A = this chain, B = another copy of it.
Amino acid sequence: MATGAATATAVQQWRALLAGALESNAHLNYSSYFQLATISVNGRPANRTVVFRGFQEGSDNILINTDRRTKKVEEITHNPYGEICWYFTESWEQFRINGRIDIIDCSTRDLAKLQQREEAWFASSLNSRLQSLRPFPRLPVLEEPSEDYQLDPSTGPVDSFCLLVFGPEQVDYVNLKTNVRFLFTSSHSSDQSTNVWKFEKVNP
């Protein structure tokens, strides 16, 4: 395993490493936060903190909730590529995850995707859902916001609620305690139905 490329076996290695990092950093509430880089409409990099909402069932896709009115949604519409940088402060592990982002919002027509968006909505806390009712992000503050937004817990996703589905294509893992670094790269299987991951041990 130390040299050359090797096909990852049954357990996808980077998922196992990530599960380990999430477990060893679980006592830190911010361990589910990571930085998502995208490309602005003007061609410059953009970068912000978002929250990990788990994996899409049966896949490696990472779920992120956001507000459709934020710049990142416009950016991803324009250029669907992103890179996650996820640094775990307790275990000194970094995951750089490069991939393509799919936007699921109120204009999506695919019923299965709309159902995923609805599930993501109800899986988030009521407090988190209330974020979708706030004034348009990044516009000048015209009035002090009133804090009395109301939302019935049974109400489905509001128009501004948006689900991002991040499909990893490459994962660059480094552990700064052990000084070990792996590069994981995915390719489609010959029948295109699944991702096949290969990895290589590289110099940190």
Which positions in A face B, CB cutoff 8 Å?
2-4, 28, 30, 33, 35-39, 43-49, 81-85, 87, 89, 94, 96, 98, 134-142, 144-145, 179, 181, 183, 200-204
CA distance A83 to B37 in the complex (A): 8
If over half of A's interface residues share one DSSP class (helix, strand or loop), that class is named, otherwise mixed; here it is: strand
Contact B141 A2 (CB under 8 A): yes
Contact B204 A137 (CB under 8 A): yes
Residues of chain B within 8 A (CB-CB) of A144 are 2
Contact B48 A47 (CB under 8 A): no
CA distance A141 to B181 in the complex (A): 9
The 10 closest A-B pairs by CB, nearest first: A37-B37, A37-B47, A47-B85, A37-B45, A35-B35, A47-B83, A44-B81, A135-B203, A45-B83, A35-B85
A36 nearest CB neighbor, chain B only: B47
Residues of chain B within 8 A (CB-CB) of A84 are 47
Residues of chain B within 8 A (CB-CB) of A201 are 140-141
Q: How far is the CB of A79 from chain B (nearest CB, A)?
A: 8
CA distance A98 to B36 in the complex (A): 14
CA distance A38 to B40 in the complex (A): 11
Contact A140 B202 (CB under 8 A): yes
| Highest count of chain B CB atoms <10 Å: which of A35, A84, A137, A138 | A35
Q: A35-B35, A47-B84 are in contact. List 13 more A-B contacts (CB 8 A).
A: A28-B89, A33-B87, A35-B37, A36-B47, A43-B81, A44-B98, A45-B81, A46-B98, A89-B89, A134-B204, A138-B181, A141-B201, A145-B179
Of the candidates B45, B49, B94, B141, which one forms a contact with A45 in the assembled complex, judged by CB atoms under 8 Å apart?
A: B45
Residues of chain B within 8 A (CB-CB) of A96 are 46-48
Residues of chain B within 8 A (CB-CB) of A183 are 138
